Amino acid sequence: KWVILTGLMPSGKMHFGHKIVIDQVIYYQSIGADINIAVADIEAYATRGYSLKEAEKIAIEEYILNYIALGLKPCRIYFQSKNEDVKDLAYLLAKKANLSQINAIYGFNSSTNMAHVFAPFIQTGDILHVQMEKYAGLCPTLVPVGVDQDPHIRFCRDLVEAHRLYSIIPQDEKIGIFVKGEENVKELLDEAEETIKKYGEIIERKDDYKAIYAKINDIFALDYELAEIERQHDGYGFILPSSTYHRFISGLDGNKMSSSRPQYALFLTDSPQEARNKIWAAKTGGAMTAEEQRKYGGKPEECIIYELFTYGIIKNDKELQDIYERCKGGKLLCGECKKLAYQLIEEFLKELKEKRDVAKDMLKEYIS
């Protein structure tokens, strides 16, 4: 069993950049992952100035309905503000972090409100609560996010390690398994010793150092069992979450696509005419004139329209390659590409709207 945990920030309209994450989540669901999606309404309240009621409305109308329309099967979607386990865990995990550490990571200063300061802990609560026994239990957890979320993932992993009762440290050709803290040291070493024998050969045990040195065949399986032991000693016993990172999709002017720059973003709730106007104004990799483009070719690697094609608008790799080569060879002009993009996106938006209307009757199957 394995778990996907991702989140959405209900502070603006859903655009094609957001769609990349949910496409990935839908794929993971298709191969058996247990899907959990956090609505970051507390973070929207703390950092973006939205009320919880406003955040809920945006989350449902702009994101969750689109998720269902895009093909997400019934799964667990929850609001941070309504999940006591997430909030309690965030508070408890915060004991192992200090203000200097948080300021260094996030750049907070004396004017930062304390709700904003606490928001990263809520995110760690999101990521880790799925490993609690009442949810998925101890299991691999994967967090698909944009590359800008990497500091959150690293911070979460730091907190996991800070709360572990054991630490596993590779040392040359052996592994050191250490007990942290001063409580139940002998008992924890005894239990670790029995577990280690399943996965390798013990070289030496040094109680004075609270350590066992061994050659281990499967460190990940050992870590999993040590986490189980920790839970029997009132530890959290979380295992490190993993993450995947996707590239940012470019806005229609070549900069990052963002809800805060609506004229350069393609929204999933745009009308076909709105999408058409934006596409016709989009930056391309074409030459100054049609004559020059036919002579020297275009630059599809710099073209926003071609980039849109690569993010799922055109799913056939051979067709994509053909467009690339025809553009590069001067046989395809920007107007033709924009016309194709508009036709494909118009068809996509019309179909998505129909599916969104149907999805309104399915919300209870998703929101917990």
- Which residues does 106 contact at the CB level (< 8 Å), separation at least 6? 120, 151
- Which residues does 240 contact at the CB level (< 8 Å), separation at least 6? 157, 160, 161
Rounded to whole angstroms, the Cα distance separating 175 from 169 reads: 6
pLDDT attached to residue 195 = 97
Taking residues 245-258, report their average pLDDT.
Answer: 92
User: pLDDT by residue (tens digit) across 203-224?
Assistant: 999 999 999 999 999 999 999 9
- Which residues does 96 contact at the CB level (< 8 Å), separation at least 6? 159, 162, 163
pLDDT attached to residue 311 = 86
| pLDDT of 27 above 90 | yes
- Which residues does 179 contact at the CB level (< 8 Å), separation at least 6? 165, 166, 185, 188, 189, 192, 210, 211
pTM as predicted: 0.92
What letter represents residue 302's amino acid?
E
pLDDT attached to residue 173 = 86
pLDDT attached to residue 171 = 87
User: pLDDT by residue (tens digit) across 134-176?
Assistant: 999 999 999 999 899 999 999 999 999 999 999 999 988 899 9
The CA-based diameter of the chain, rounded to the nearest angstrom, is 81
User: pLDDT by residue (tens digit) across 311-328?
Assistant: 889 999 999 999 999 999
Calculate the alpha carbon distances from 11 to 40, 87, 223 in Å.
9, 20, 38
- Which residues does 267 contact at the CB level (< 8 Å), separation at least 6? 13, 14, 15, 259, 274
Q: For 8, phi and psi rounded to 5 degrees? A: -130, 140
**Secondary structure (DSSP) of 278-321:** HHHT---S--SSHHHHHHH---GGG-HHHHHIIIIIS--HHHHH
Q: Which of 245, 261, 350, 247 is nearest to 13 (CA)?
A: 261
The three-point CA angle 151-154-158 to 5° equals: 135
Q: Which of 62, 17, 59, 70 is nearest to 351 (CA)?
A: 70
Instruction: Write down the mean pLDDT value for the chain.
Output: 96
- Which residues does 182 contact at the CB level (< 8 Å), separation at least 6? none
